[in-house]
Amino acid sequence: MTREQLSLLSLDPAGAATYALAEGAVLLRGFAKSKEARLFADVERVAAHCPFRHLVTPGGFRMSVAMTNCGELGWVSDERGYRYSPVDPQTGFAWPAMPQSFFDLATTAARSAGYPSFVPDACLVNRYAPGARLTLHQDKNERDARAPIVSVSLGLSAVFLFGGAARSDRTARVPLVHGDVVVWGGPSRFFYHGVLALEGGVHPLTGGYRINLTFRKAV
């Protein structure tokens, strides 16, 4: 799917475009771009406390995407399963507080997408190096199904796979570029999605990486 094939919902005077991905899911193109410097500085601050690491899936596979967290709760995976934890299992310390820049961006994006009461308590920070990918999955470890997910892309571009309620549903390919924000909830909250293997490149802000911030209300 190209940008042109997505359906344009609105175009504000500043040129920010909102595209519908599915019922309840929108792409806010470039929404985070003007905040890029602060956001990336805060990613580095979070990673200085709780470093990026490759988690292991319950099935015993090392994930190609490196992850860390901030906020009251962090998403973790190991041989015992997927869950949210108030402490970093690697350091034994609480995750760093959610930076104000993250919280403000997530809540304004959610409001623009029609979710005015979204209050995230967890932010998963994903780092993709060339070749890193995320296989099709559902986000279903969160307790409150009414809360959307807000997903922010920084740095190198990636192709987001966006399917339906069943794993076998056909998937659209949505290019996500630096500054794009996807807000996802309501009827499509549990749709399957993934990310194709990252291509190589160099981005002025993030170097050889794509960074994704995924905000959730976990409890």
Q: Which of 139, 150, 153, 206 binds Fe ion (CB under 5 A)?
A: 139
**DSSP state string for 70-129:** EESBEEEEETTEEEEESB-TTTSSBPPPPPHHHHHHHHHHHHHTT-TT----EEEEEEE-
Identify which of residues 66 and 134 has a Cβ nearer to ligand MD6 in the complex. 134
Identify the residue among 18, 69, 151, 188 touching ligand MD6 (CB under 6 A): 151
Kindly tell me which residue out of 134, 156, 161, 218 binds ligand MD6, with binding defined by CB under 6 A.
Answer: 134
Q: Which of 72, 219, 206, 81 is nearest to 152 (CA)?
A: 206
Left (φ > 0), alpha (ψ -120 to 50) or beta: where does 94 sit?
A: beta
206 touches which of Fe ion, ligand MD6, none (CB within 5 to 8 A by kind)?
Answer: none
Give least dist CB 16 to ligand MD6, A. 19
Q: Which two tokens stand for residue 206?
A: 């993030």
Number of residues that bind ligand MD6 (CB under 6 A): 12
**Among ligand MD6, Fe ion, none, residue 151 binds (CB under 5-8 Å by kind):** ligand MD6
Which range in 39-47, 77-85, 139-147, 173-181 contacts Fe ion by CB under 5 A? 139-147
What is the rounded distance in angstroms from the CA atom of residue 33 to the CA atom of residue 177?
Answer: 10
- Partner that binds at residue 127, options Fe ion, ligand MD6, none, CB closer than 5 to 8 Å by kind: none
Q: Which distant-in-sequence residues (6+ apart) come within 8 Å of 131 by Cβ?
A: 64, 197, 198
Q: Which of 139, 174, 178, 181 binds ligand MD6 (CB under 6 A)?
A: 139
- Which two three-digit tokens encode residue 92? 């034994």
Which CB atom, from 50 or from 124, has the smaller least distance to Fe ion? 124
In the numeric block, which tokens belong to residue 155? 């740095």
Q: Which is nearer to Fe ion, 139 or 142 (CB)?
A: 139
Number of residue whose CB is nearest ligand MD6: 151
Instruction: Read off the tokens for 186.
Output: 């309501």
